[in-house]
């Protein structure tokens, strides 16, 4: 009894050579080989011996040995060898029994067991089809030659019927065993699938909850960034307007303007590399620094000093290798002169109204590096006299780097020409520009932050 339990336990101890997807088939073949050996030893050997067919009784002794070998090879993990041995035994058994006692004894039924067994395996489809086809061909040849052939030994027709019924019963038992194994495999697969489905649903639910919370936090952060932006100025010698549309809930663009003193008005716009939370945090930090004028030993009326101090205060290696471009200018109300410096940023566009109604433009830029890219830089600044009513536009590259549907980009010069025409269009220039950019990009959302500030000098 202990030996039987130990042997059956061995049938379920998966060898390291057996892949996980073949484990069920390996267990199936262990029991199939054992049952086949038991059937031959306890059923066919006594049955053939009792009816006076010693040759078939002796062959079934050999069959029992073959099934024992098949069980041994299967336990060792040689599945194909075990299956081949079992199939050889089935074919030889069916052929020899049919040759000796005739077709009607029903032994050819077993030839179809091999295709059923192969169907339950994890072998390739090619192996299954090829091996099954061979057995079907063997059955066809046996049917053709033996249904009308005279058996070597003539025995009582009643015994032939007994053999036939026994073989039908045994074959049906084997079919039931195959069906049980197949049903167990299907139930196991469905159970695993349902568990994976539940795990996936749980993971998706958790992810959605995290995304909802994250979106809420991002929305709050976006509101905070927008709250940091200055209100448009509608009165006074300097008036302002702006449009800020980040490409995501948080962008890397930021801008500001304020009176440094009664005579000097600072204007700045920066664009941090990348998008999202990291870029927004850096842009807010820079904007707060400029607004609160907390750079040490810096004259905020001097654009050159401001850029050099920003480069020292915000090195890229301390900010996840992020850098930013910036345009910084200071307008002197008394002299009507603007001093400015740009670090890797697009030039500001100054449109001056002529008495005739025509407008001329100037591009205000200086050849400085991006801020945070190099540890030690020297910046240049420049000045521009504003003798007549003018409008200054400071913007990020997302305003004009818009991809058309054919893959080409809207060029900077085309943007400048558009602003000239929009100057006399009678519409809000910034709204007109934004609608045009969306039309060019053929999308309601632009790929980059759309940020532009308009400063009007009377």
Q: Which residues contact 335 (CB under 8 A, 6 or more apart)?
A: none
CA dihedral angle for residue 139, residue 140, residue 141, residue 143, rounded to 10 degrees: 80
Which of 44, 40, 37, 42 lies closest to 162 in space, CA to CA?
44
- Amino acid 256: pLDDT: 94
Q: How many CB atoms lie within 10 A of CB 273?
A: 20
What angle is formed at CA 283 by the lines to CA 278 and CA 287, rounded to 5 degrees?
150
CATH architecture of 230-457: 4-Layer Sandwich (3.60)
350 neighbors 392 (Cβ within 8 angstroms):
yes
Instruction: For the chain, give every residue range classified as CATH 3.60.40.10.
Output: 230-457
Task: At 7, list the tokens.
Answer: 């042997």
Tokens coding 309: 């101090």
**Cβ(26)–Cβ(18) below 8 Å:** yes
Distance CA 327, CA 340 (A): 7
Question: Please, which residues bridge with residue 271 across strands?
Answer: 253, 325
Report CA Rg, the chain. 44
**H helical segments located in 147-156:** none
Closest CA to 87 of 61, 56, 120, 112: 112
**C-alpha torsion sign, points 435, 440, 443, 449:** negative
**What whole-number distance in Å separates Cα of residue 415 and Cα of residue 433?**
9
Cβ-based neighbours of 316, under 8 Å, separated by 6 or more? 322, 323, 372, 373
Per-residue model confidence (pLDDT) at position 112? 82
**How far apart (Å, rounded) are the C-alpha atoms in residues 224 and 181?**
63
Contacts of 242 by beta carbon, 8 Å cutoff, 6+ apart: 229, 232, 255, 430, 451, 452, 453, 454
The tens place of each residue's pLDDT in the chain, 458 residues long, gives 444 666 666 777 767 777 777 777 788 788 888 888 888 898 889 988 888 889 889 999 999 999 999 988 988 888 888 888 888 888 898 899 899 998 888 888 888 877 777 777 777 888 888 888 888 888 888 888 888 888 888 888 888 888 888 888 888 887 787 777 667 766 776 787 788 888 888 888 888 888 888 777 777 777 777 888 999 999 989 999 999 887 766 678 899 999 999 999 999 999 998 777 788 888 889 999 999 999 999 999 999 999 999 999 999 888 888 899 999 999 999 999 999 999 999 999 999 876 555 568 899 999 999 999 888 889 999 999 998 889 999 999 989 988 888 888 888 999 998 888 775 555 688 988 998 888 887 777 777 788 999 999 98
Strand partners, 337: 332, 385
The pLDDT value recorded for residue 248 is: 63
């Amino acid at each position: 009894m202990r030996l039987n339990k130990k042997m059956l336990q061995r049938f379920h101890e998966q060898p390291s050579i057996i892949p996980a997807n073949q484990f069920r088939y390996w267990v199936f073949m262990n029991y199939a080989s054992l049952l086949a050996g038991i059937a031959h030893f306890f059923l066919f050997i006594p049955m053939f011996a009792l009816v006076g067919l010693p040759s078939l009784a002796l062959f079934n002794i050999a069959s029992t040995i073959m099934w024992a070998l098949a069980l041994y090879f299967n336990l060792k993990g040689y599945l194909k060898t075990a299956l081949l041995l079992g199939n050889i035994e089935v074919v030889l058994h069916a052929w020899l029994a049919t040759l000796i006692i005739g077709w009607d004894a029903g032994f050819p039924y077993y030839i179809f067991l091999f295709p059923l067994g192969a169907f339950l395996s994890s072998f390739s489809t090619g192996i299954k089809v090829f091996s099954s086809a061979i057995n079907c061909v063997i059955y066809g040849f046996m049917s053709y030659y033996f249904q009308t052939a005279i058996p070597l030994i003539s025995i009582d027709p009643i015994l032939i019927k007994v053999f036939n019924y026994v073989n039908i019963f045994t074959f049906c038992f084997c079919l039931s065993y195959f069906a049980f194994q197949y049903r167990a495999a299907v139930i196991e697969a469905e159970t695993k699938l349902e568990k994976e489905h539940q795990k996936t649903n749980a993971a998706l639910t958790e992810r959605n909850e995290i995304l909802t919370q994250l979106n809420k936090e991002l929305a709050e952060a976006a509101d905070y960034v927008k709250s940091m932006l200055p209100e448009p100025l509608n009165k006074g010698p300097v008036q302002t307007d702006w449009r800020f549309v980040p490409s995501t809930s948080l962008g890397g663009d930021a801008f500001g303007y304020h009176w440094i003193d009664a005579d000097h008005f600072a204007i700045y716009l920066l664009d941090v590399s990348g998008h999202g939370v990291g870029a927004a945090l850096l842009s807010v930090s820079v904007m707060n620094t400029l607004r609160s004028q907390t750079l040490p030993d810096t004259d905020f009326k001097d654009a050159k000093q401001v850029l050099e101090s920003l480069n020292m205060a915000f090195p890229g290696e301390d900010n996840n290798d992020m850098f930013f471009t910036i345009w910084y200018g200071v307008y002197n109300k008394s002299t009507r002169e603007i001093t400015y410096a740009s670090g890797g940023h697009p030039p500001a566009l100054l449109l001056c109204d002529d008495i005739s109604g025509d407008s001329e433009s100037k591009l205000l830029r200086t050849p400085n590096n991006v801020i945070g890219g190099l540890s030690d830089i020297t910046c240049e600044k420049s000045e521009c006299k504003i003798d007549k009513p003018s409008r200054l536009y400071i913007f990020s590259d997302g305003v004009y780097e818009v991809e058309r549907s054919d893959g080409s980009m809207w060029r900077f010069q085309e943007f400048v020409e558009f602003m000239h025409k929009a100057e006399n269009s009678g519409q809000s220039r910034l709204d007109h520009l934004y609608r045009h950019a969306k039309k060019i990009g053929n999308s309601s959302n632009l790929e980059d932050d759309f940020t532009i500030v308009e400063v009007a000098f009377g």
